[in-house]
Amino acid sequence: MMTTIDIWLNEEIGRINPNIYGHFIEHLGGVVYDGIWVGEDSEIPNIKGFRQELIEKLKEINPSVIRWPGGCFAETYNWRDGIGPSEKRPTTVNWWYMNDGKLESNQVGTHEFIDFCNLVNAEPYFAVNATTTTVLEARNWIEYCNMMQGTTTLAQEREKNGSPEPFNVKYWGLGNENWGGGGCMTPEDYCHIYRKYGIISKSVGQDLQFIACGPYEDIPEWTAKFFDKYKEMYTVGRVAPMFGYSLHYYVTNTGRMGTELTYSDAQWYEMMRVGLDMEPFIQSQYEMIRAAMPETSIGLVVDEWGVWHQQNGRHPLPGNYLFEQMSTMREAVLAALSLNIFNNHCDKVVMANVAQLVNCIHSLFLAKGNACVATTSYYVFDMYKIHQNATSLKTEVNCKSITYIFEGKTYDIPSISCSASFRDGILAVTLANLTVDEDQEIMFNLHGGQYTSTGTMVVLSSYNHKNGNSFEEPYKVTPVEQNISPVGVELTVTIPKASVVLLTLD
Ligand code: AHR
């Protein structure tokens, strides 16, 4: 069966917030130390202690926003440990992630993270410790970061520490996974704590955007209970306002779906199915919020997402960092279909942060010593950056289904995922071919306009879908570009099995 895709130039879903293409850096495994940070005295080329090669590559993909310092790490973090002269900073235990016995040196703290964001042109998004510290500490951190030069004692301390200008941190996540690692709270407990942040929401006259902790995919009911309570408090006032509501969604393996190089086709498809299931999760979470508060403008912030094999569990293979895994064509296709979901729901999703940037889970980079490798998923972000700030368009895909049997059950999933956007006269269409063994011919029907000239097609694929980039073969899988020639409203292309594709047309 030939796939047909209808695209309506005149049916807009909304503007694609660039923050949908955001990132996440946690003090975990090799993400910060040896990942982004090598230290100013390192022989590895660096800018202010940050890996130069990574900075240059990251800038290329317009990283928009970066979440830090966790994750679970945030829930035991004391921001004061990471300010002041580096030699005077305390060495602490990384309570969440023991990092193979390594201690937390606190060499990367608030000022350094802000430097990193400035170096790559990204907006900072801070995760506040809402479990083991107080609202007062959050207030102090906000004041330290955002008060004008020469005003409060904390602003003067920031100046003394080398940054007279305020950091103007806008996004503040209040807690992390508070139903689990972050305090094992009930939705009602958490709502009660969230409420208290209302007191500081306007305290420094800033445009602060607070993000509340929502559920992981397996506890969707958290939301209805949380919003029941939040609505009640909102009605009586003095509750923290909410810009975004956070969701975490991992395509988790836990061994069932095979490690990166030893899995069957059924295991591949099962991972695709779980990836596709993020769409109903987003839809239903959004509906729950709107059911409780019909007038609200709260958006969804998927501030952790990605493929998490856990093949190494908490005890990594020798020489690997905690949760370090390879990104092959499987991760690239899953990144592409996830980003297609965000684009298609950009009227609901205002931010998303892939977990994590380097050496961890769905990494965009692998870095060790002098080497810094861009993974297949990095190239997906590079291809998809064209969607940032563009208008997402309605599409309809008619493709063959894939039927597979996994653990005795039969499933059907679509074989193609797609999103399209329009900006400055350019139509961008991104596709993922979910089949492991079939190239697909696709015919596009354009509604509401015509193509005017040639376009380009960029393809990320490999003869073997288990291939990815590694320290040994850093450029094994990279995108390839070719010209295409649409005529009037007609365009047909063939895309390889297990591929990610970008079409740009004017
Ligand atoms: O990204 C790794 C961990 O996954 C984070 O610390 C936590 O928030 C989530 O469970």
Q: What is the CATH number of the domain that holds 401?
A: 2.60.40.1180
Closest CA to 71 of 131, 17, 122: 131
- The answer on 126 and 241 residing in a single domain is yes
Instruction: Decide if pLDDT at 167 tops 90.
Output: yes
- The answer on 361 and 297 residing in a single domain is yes
The tokens for 235 are: 């009605």
Angle (nearest 5°) at CA 117 between 112 and 320: 75
Catalytic, 324? Answer: no
- The answer on 422 and 335 residing in a single domain is no
User: CA 298 to CA 239: how far, in whole Å?
Assistant: 14
Residue 151: DSSP 8-state: S
Residue 204 is predicted with a pLDDT of 60
- The answer on 193 and 70 residing in a single domain is yes
User: CA 90 to CA 85: how far, in whole Å?
Assistant: 10
Quickly count helices (H) and strands (E) in the chain: 10, 23
Q: What are the tens digits of pLDDT across the range 300-317? A: 999 999 999 865 455 556
Please say which residue of 334, 360, 388 terminates a domain: 388
Q: How confident is the model at residue 206 (pLDDT cuts 50, 70, 90)?
A: low
Q: Compute the distance from residue 356 Cα to the ligand 1 centre, in Å.
A: 9
Instruction: Decide if pLDDT at 63 tops 80.
Output: yes
Catalytic, 481? Answer: no
- The answer on 399 and 362 residing in a single domain is no
For ligand 1, atom 6, name the residue with the nearest CA: 71
The region of weakest confidence among 28-37, 256-265, 336-345 is 256-265
User: CA 119 to CA 33: how far, in whole Å?
Assistant: 17
Closest CA to 127 of 77, 93, 91, 167: 77
Strand ranges (E), 277-385: 299-308, 349-354, 365-368, 371-374
Question: What domain range is 416 assigned to?
Answer: 394-505
- Asked if residue 9 is part of any domain, the answer here is no
State the virtual CA torsion across 237, 238, 242, 243 in degrees, nearest 10.
100
Q: Of all atoms in ligand 1, which is nearest to the CA of residue 216?
A: 10
Instruction: Decide if pLDDT at 215 tops 60.
Output: yes
Phi and psi based region of residue 278 (left: phi greater than 0; alpha: psi -120 to 50; beta: remaining): alpha
Place of tokens 């004008």: 148
Q: How confident is the model at residue 252 (pLDDT cuts 50, 70, 90)?
A: confident
Q: Indicate which CATH number applies to the domain containing 272.
A: 3.20.20.80
- The answer on 413 and 378 residing in a single domain is no
For ligand 1, atom 4, name the residue with the nearest CA: 71
Mean pLDDT, to the nearest integer, of 139-160? Answer: 96
Residue 454 is predicted with a pLDDT of 78
- Asked if residue 233 is part of any domain, the answer here is yes
Closest CA to 256 of 328, 217, 311: 311
For 179, half-sphere exposure in the C-beta direction (CA atoms, 13 angstrom radius) is 19
- Asked if residue 296 is part of any domain, the answer here is yes
- The answer on 129 and 252 residing in a single domain is yes
Closest CA to 78 of 113, 109, 111: 109
- Asked if residue 315 is part of any domain, the answer here is yes
The tokens for 360 are: 């961890």
Percentage of the chain exceeding pLDDT 70: 95
Phi and psi based region of residue 161 (left: phi greater than 0; alpha: psi -120 to 50; beta: remaining): alpha
- Asked if residue 1 is part of any domain, the answer here is no
> Average per-residue pLDDT in the chain?
93
- The answer on 265 and 184 residing in a single domain is yes
- The answer on 370 and 426 residing in a single domain is no
> What contacts 452, CB < 8 A, 6 or more positions away?
506
Residue 216 is predicted with a pLDDT of 92
Q: What count of other Cβ atoms lies within 10 Å of the Cβ of residue 469? A: 23
- The answer on 101 and 202 residing in a single domain is yes
The tokens for 337 are: 């279909």
Mean pLDDT, to the nearest integer, of 320-348? Answer: 94
The region of weakest confidence among 227-231, 278-282, 353-357 is 227-231
Residue 205 is predicted with a pLDDT of 58
- Asked if residue 370 is part of any domain, the answer here is yes
- Asked if residue 59 is part of any domain, the answer here is yes
Mean pLDDT, to the nearest integer, of 1-26? Answer: 96
The region of weakest confidence among 16-20, 101-105, 398-402 is 101-105
- The answer on 366 and 427 residing in a single domain is no
User: CA 188 to CA 169: how far, in whole Å?
Assistant: 28
Q: Compute the distance from residue 239 Cα to the ligand 1 centre, in Å.
A: 27
Instruction: Decide if pLDDT at 139 tops 60.
Output: yes
Percentage of the chain exceeding pLDDT 90: 82
Place of tokens 């921001």: 79
Instruction: Decide if pLDDT at 85 tops 70.
Output: yes
Q: Compute the distance from residue 293 Cα to the ligand 1 centre, in Å.
A: 29
Residue 452 is predicted with a pLDDT of 74
Ligand 1 site-directed mutation target among 25, 99, 177, most atoms within 8 Å of CB? 177
Catalytic residue among 177, 270, 324, 331, which? Answer: 177
Element (H, E) at 420: strand 416-423
What's the domain count of the chain?
2
Q: Of all atoms in ligand 1, which is nearest to the CA of residue 355?
A: 1
β-strands 391-398, 416-423: how paired? antiparallel
CA distances 408 to 176, 256, 276, 317, 405, Å, are 36, 13, 20, 31, 6
User: CA 462 to CA 308: how far, in whole Å?
Assistant: 22
Angle (nearest 5°) at CA 84 between 130 and 57: 80
What single letter denotes the amino acid at residue 132? T
The region of weakest confidence among 241-255, 257-271, 404-418, 422-436 is 257-271
User: CA 18 to CA 336: how far, in whole Å?
Assistant: 16
At 72, give phi and psi (nearest 5°). -60, -30
Please say which residue of 343, 371, 388 terminates a domain: 388
Please say which residue of 371, 388, 405 terminates a domain: 388
The region of weakest confidence among 27-36, 129-138, 227-236 is 227-236
Is residue 78 packed enough to be buried (19+ CB in 10 Å), middle (13-18) or exposed (0-12)? middle
Q: 3-class SS at 393?
A: strand
Q: Compute the distance from residue 71 Cα to the ligand 1 centre, in Å.
A: 5
Instruction: Decide if pLDDT at 421 tops 60.
Output: yes
Q: Is the C-alpha dihedral spanning 21, 25, 28, 30 positive or negative?
A: positive
Residue 459 is predicted with a pLDDT of 98
- The answer on 416 and 278 residing in a single domain is no
Contact 210, 242 (CB under 8 A): yes
Q: Compute the distance from residue 253 Cα to the ligand 1 centre, in Å.
A: 15
- Asked if residue 492 is part of any domain, the answer here is yes
Q: What are the tens digits of pLDDT across the range 281-297? A: 999 999 999 999 999 99
Q: How confident is the model at residue 486 (pLDDT cuts 50, 70, 90)?
A: confident
Q: Pocket residues for ligand 1 (CB within 6 Å)?
A: 26, 70-72, 176-177, 304, 355-356, 361
Ligand 1 site-directed mutation target among 24, 25, 31, 72, most atoms within 8 Å of CB? 72
Closest CA to 405 of 269, 211, 212, 259: 269
Mean pLDDT, to the nearest integer, of 58-79? Answer: 97
The tokens for 150 are: 């020469």
